[in-house]
Structure 1
Amino acid sequence: MAITYLPITPGMNQSFTCTLPVDDKNITLDFTLTYNEPAGYWFMSIRKNDTGVLLIDALPLLNGEYPSANLLKQYSYLAIGSAVIISKSGKDSTPTFDSLGREHFVAWGDTP
């Protein structure tokens, strides 16, 4: 199983396209990451790159403990893989505006 980290730039709302190895094939997805300042957390929207179809809208990037650590668990029927938040410190903490892409990373892997 290959693990890929999303190419996130710290401290800014952003959109990017990323090709990810998932379940022995490559998929290309468009991502939009937005910081919700009043609530203090990031959220992510995901579209299919080839069609522009919105797959997931406003998914909160919040840490969870196993088995709820997989952000995409409830979307396994989409077969777009799994995603977890990894912290450099090893602590379960929510990514802040400045820490996502610097101290916290989104790791992508195969569909469970």
Structure 2
Amino acid sequence: MPQCLVVDDSAVMRRIARSMLEKLGFDCTEAADGAQAVEAVRQHAPDVILLDWEMPVLDGFGALTALRAEPWGRAPRIVMCTTLSDMERIVAALEAGADEYVMKPYDQEILADKLRAVGVLD
């Protein structure tokens, strides 16, 4: 079963994303900010990370750059999530190593399409 780390400072958003992912066949863990996400991935790297941009402590972009700087044997796929549609931010995230980008609010079909695009869902 593929593993997904859901990272969002909103418990409600984590629960919604987790529900969608579990219906798609993923085993999920959660983190409430980027610092928790980096530590969780260092302990056990998932197949994919659903990473919110706007969070306290360490935001999604900071977590993305920290995760991509790690010497992984197998780097997890990272899908950035945000309510912001600023093209410069999207480009910056992709250039920093995000594999895909999804705008909130998203539904299960949109999420499934993004996960297929990064190769973690058939």
TM-score category (smaller protein): 0.3 to 0.5
Higher percent of residues as strand: 1
**TM-score with structure 2 setting the length:** 0.31
Higher percent of residues as helix: 2
**TM-score with structure 1 setting the length:** 0.33
Structure with the larger RCO, 1 or 2 (CA within 8 Å, 6+ apart):
1
